[in-house]
Amino acid sequence: MLSLAQNQSTQFDYGKIENNQYQNDYFNFTIDIPEDWFVQNKAQIEALQKQGKQMMAGDDEELNTIFEISEINTANLLSVNKYELGAPVEFNPSFGIVVENISHAPGVKKGSDYLFQVKRLLKQSKMNYEHIDEKFKKTIISGHTFYLMKCEIQYLDVSITQVYYTTITKMFAFSFITTYTDKKQRKELMEIFDSISFKK
């Protein structure tokens, strides 16, 4: 879990962006955003969520209900893409920060517990994943312990990789999510990733 400074905010907030840096006082961290990347607004994020739910659940009523319940407890803190949405490119790499309130799930004590549940949901979804990690690698981000899960899927003849980095803090599952198709895109995303800084 993240060790949280005494002077940080005690009320949940979505954070703010100033001078190409995202800052969140509740979760006590900052991350730099490249000047030429595009931050999605609330309406764009909601549209992407709706599209994602349709792709994952299709007409399956049970899955749609699961996703709708999850949406109530989930907040997208940040969604950033290399290109504007709809740009004429083969793929638009992205970096996101998502948190889910897990106060209703006391058995989820660390990032790997949460990813276990995410893995189950992905396997039940209508998306045909070619690979989902069965074991979750522990990784340290700015001094804090996260767990990593990599997924791979073929979509519209494009091989897409998505990586979750998850920890548990303040009764939230806190996840960084990167999505890319090749080594160059991954390198660019890792440069953003390397700027993550949790305050002492």
What does the pLDDT look like over 97-137, one tens digit per residue?
A: 999 999 988 999 999 999 999 999 888 877 888 999 999 99
Rg of the chain over Cα atoms, rounded to whole angstroms, equals 16
pLDDT in tens, 13-52: 899 999 999 999 999 999 999 999 999 988 777 776 666 5
Give the start-to-end residue ranges of the domains of the chain.
16-198
Residue 118's nearest CA partner among 44, 50, 177 is 177
Whole-structure pTM value: 0.86
Alpha helices in 21-110 (DSSP H): 42-57, 61-73
Domain 16-198: CATH class, spelled out: alpha beta
